[in-house]
Structure 1
Amino acid sequence: MRFIIRVVVNAFSLWVVTLIPVLQVSVIAFPPGETLQLVLTLLAVGAIFALVNTIIGTIVKVLAFPLYILTFGLIGFVINGFLLWLTAWFTSGLDWGLRVEHFWWGVVAALVISIINGIFGFILRPQSKRSRRRD
């Protein structure tokens, strides 16, 4: 269930990023490219992005741990941009998918995606059990 929520939030985040024309990030929908195909494409790209983040992202972040310390965590922006660019590369051979025109625009887009995912993570996070007050 958590993976499905993650895919939907990623798809929404990718859609928001494609609405910002400065970032030069676009999604090419399944043919014929109508609204339903765009939504399905966003969900497919969101699933690929979630898998890339889960599998490859974990490995890269573990290997880059010393860089996280040296850069006070700022390397995380570059790594997230790399993972977004990698997702675009995976779908580049298809007639549909994510297109990132330049790596550094991918880094900025990944920052926007991280902010949106953080907001949704805060909203959708289950509330912890509240401790009882002592009277």
Structure 2
Amino acid sequence: MTTIFVKLLANAVALSAAVWLVNDITLGEPGESTGGKAVTLLIVALIFGVVNIIVKPIVKFFALPLLIVTLGLFTLVINALMLLLTDWLSGDKFEVEGFGSAVLGGLIISIVSWAVNLILDRD
């Protein structure tokens, strides 16, 4: 149970960092309150976590030859696709404008999520 909470928290922190650093990634409505944005962030983090648990391994399996040829750099493209899928699933609550923003956001999310998991996951 705590592992799920830690991963949800890491996803939320990583998504908020991406929203903060990349101008073309937005969260919530423009006039929404801070509490509303926090709830939206947790919902989007949950959607992103489910996408990463269910869809990402399937995509990585089918992209295995490309991952081998590019020495793993194709993972950036897969992360961008997972971020765009999260955008599509979350509707108007989370917006990613363009593939370049998705690649940059996926890179930021990967780094921040790794760091937060390193700090919080003491098991």
Normalising by structure 2, report the TM-score.
0.91
The equivalent residue for 2:106 is: 110
CA distance in 1, matches of 2:85, 2:22: 21
Gaps in structure 1 of 5+ consecutive residues: 128-135
Number of residue pairs aligned between Structure 1 and Structure 2: 122
* Larger RCO (CA within 8 A; separation ≥ 6): 2
Say which SS state the counterpart of residue 72 (structure 1) adopts.
coil
Structure 2 residues without counterparts, runs of 5 or longer: none
One-letter code aligned to 2:115: I
Aligned counterpart, 2:9: 8
Equivalence for 1:132: none
Which whole-Å CA distance do the structure 2 matches of 1:11 and 1:91 have between them?
14
SS in 2 for 1:73: coil
Partner of 2:93: 97
Structure 1 runs of 4+ off > 6 angstroms?
none
Q: What is the root-mean-square deviation of aligned Cα atoms in Å?
A: 1.7
Deviation per residue, 1:21-73 (Å, 9 max, x gap): 44x101115x9711111000000000000000000011101111111100000
Partner SS state of residue 91, structure 1: helix
Partner of 1:84: 83
Q: CA–CA distance in 2 between the matches of 1:122 and 1:8?
A: 12
Q: How does the TM-score come out when normalised to structure 1?
A: 0.83
Distance (Å, rounded) in 1 between the aligned partners of 2:40 and 2:121: 26
Q: How far apart in 1 are the matches of 2:82 and 2:5?
A: 19
Flag the structure with larger Rg: 1
